[in-house]
Structure 1
Amino acid sequence: MSAIPQNLQVVRDGIAAAARIALRDPQSVQLLAVSKTFDAAAVVAAAQAGQRAFGENYLQEALDKMAAVKAAQPDLLLEWHFIGPIQSNKTRQIAEHFDWVHAIDREKIAQRLSDQRPSALPPLNICLQINISGEASKSGATLEQAPKLAQAIAALPRLRLRGLMAIPEAAESVALQRLPFHRLHQLWQALREQGLDLDTLSMGMSNDMTAAIAEGATIVRIGSAIFGKRDYAK
């Protein structure tokens, strides 16, 4: 029998415990199940256990999985989040098939997503990615670039800027993990004070979820703790 329902419950319990420690309502933190590299059967198992939001990094894999899930369970109403880097030639299919995009750091990509979002669909929910630790190996806007870029994205007609996303540099203690999340929260609050209608902080994964929730995360991205160890060789 699949361990996914039991794993999901353990993760949910962990989110609830972290929220209570932070004196927050556990319902204020959404679990995004990162299903990249796992098959449609894993998504269906999680969905049958009550999970509705799924995160994908690889476009073709995601599109194939969406189709397979739809064929297996046509009545499932799932929310699909694209959380990987985006190339210009992938924007149309992302705009047509996803509900959220978490990794926007260029106005050009945002403009293409807005132009290509079908009018029959609601505006595409967007998180602006911030390189909060200033790592050369990671994508994301700088703290200095963020206000201008956020205003430009918010003005696009077929997008809805919801908030910020970051993947900080790894740190060993919860106290050190909290520092970049705190900076992201400060930026989020500053943008709200500038008039942007933001409600989302997408931050925190398995190893730093507690720190992220303490600093105001509204979405945490968890994968292997739900689905098991990834096999990238597939």
Structure 2
Amino acid sequence: MSSIADNLGSVTRRIQKATKAAARADGSVNLLAVSKTRPPRDLREAAASGQRAFGENYLQEGLEKIEALADLPELEWHFIGPIQSNKTRAIAEHFQWVHSVDRLKIARRLSEQRPDNLPPLNVCLQVNVDNEDSKSGCRMEDLPELAAAVSKLPRLNLRGLMAIPDPDQPEDSLRDSFRALATALGRLNRQPDINGTLGTLSMGMSGDLELAIAEGATLVRVGTAIFGARDYGAGG
């Protein structure tokens, strides 16, 4: 069985190869290790191989890992799951990034509850690029107004967009979804109230990271290809 270190090396090489194939600069795509349902020892093994950014979907599980790995202050914690109003305070207090902001109410609560002694919370707006009823995310047509409002909140740092397209759709359709998110980011950056400040496209996972990178992803969220199949009995 491949070790987590071996898997990280393989994923890193895939990212580098895809970045080169897309004629993009070395280092322009970052890796977020999606660690939901994985025990702290797996994250510690990944950290020992140089991985620093970890993404958690479930708040209580994520908080337990942050505490268990508090001796590794260099780790960067990203919350990437759906956000309920009663969870915003803990997210604002313990994470450095949030990828799943999809409405102004949640953004306002995160801003109000971000401690003053911490840097502004980095946030991405989640977009429902395929208009799936079962998916979180704001509608594409609502994005300009939401981005303008979030960009003005004092304790948040709006960084870009995130999407989770349907991975089972045909490749051409998946490419269109990634391209639509990249196009939306470009449009937002032309808004006077945004003015070119957004640089993060959080899209692409284990099975489609090459396609996402070809369409402009700057951060890919990879879990299974690093940690193996998830054990959903282990958490959230």
Structure 2 unaligned regions, length at least 5: none
1:122 pairs with 2:124: no
Aligned equivalents of 2:54, 2:12: Cα separation in 1: 15
Q: Compute the TM-score of the two structures, normalised by the length of structure 1.
A: 0.96
The equivalent of 1:85 in structure 2 is: 82
1:103 pairs with 2:105: no
Report deviation, 1:87.
0.6
List aligned pairs for 1:1-40, cutoff 5 A.
3-40=3-40
Q: Name which of 161, 184, 187 aligns with 2:184.
A: 187
- Is residue 30–residue 218 contact of structure 1 (8 Å, CA) maintained in 2? yes
- Is residue 175–residue 211 contact of structure 1 (8 Å, CA) maintained in 2? no
Q: Report % sequence identity.
A: 57
1:220 pairs with 2:220: yes
List aligned pairs for 1:40-59, cutoff 5 A.
40-59=40-59
Q: Name which of 159, 164, 168 aligns with 2:161.
A: 164
Letter in 2 for 1:62: G
The equivalent of 1:66 in structure 2 is: 66
Report deviation, 1:176.
3.1
1:178 pairs with 2:175: yes
- Is residue 174–residue 208 contact of structure 1 (8 Å, CA) maintained in 2? no
The equivalent of 1:232 in structure 2 is: 232
- Is residue 200–residue 219 contact of structure 1 (8 Å, CA) maintained in 2? yes
Aligned equivalents of 2:191, 2:67: Cα separation in 1: 41
Aligned equivalents of 1:215, 1:228: Cα separation in 2: 26
Letter in 2 for 1:6: D
Letter in 2 for 1:105: D
Aligned equivalents of 1:18, 1:199: Cα separation in 2: 19
Aligned equivalents of 1:51, 1:172: Cα separation in 2: 30
Q: Provide the secondary structure at the position in 2 that maps to 1:233.
A: helix
Q: Provide the secondary structure at the position in 2 that maps to 1:167.
A: coil
1:136 pairs with 2:108: no
Letter in 2 for 1:29: V
Give a deviation string over 1:103-161, Cα, whole Å, max 9, x none. Answer: 01110000000000001100000000000011111011111000000011100000000
Q: Compute the TM-score of the two structures, normalised by the length of structure 2.
A: 0.95
Report deviation, 1:174.
3.9
Give a deviation string over 1:170-193, Cα, whole Å, max 9, x none. Answer: 245543321111111111000001
- Is residue 105–residue 139 contact of structure 1 (8 Å, CA) maintained in 2? yes
Q: Provide the secondary structure at the position in 2 that maps to 1:145.
A: helix
Aligned residues: 231
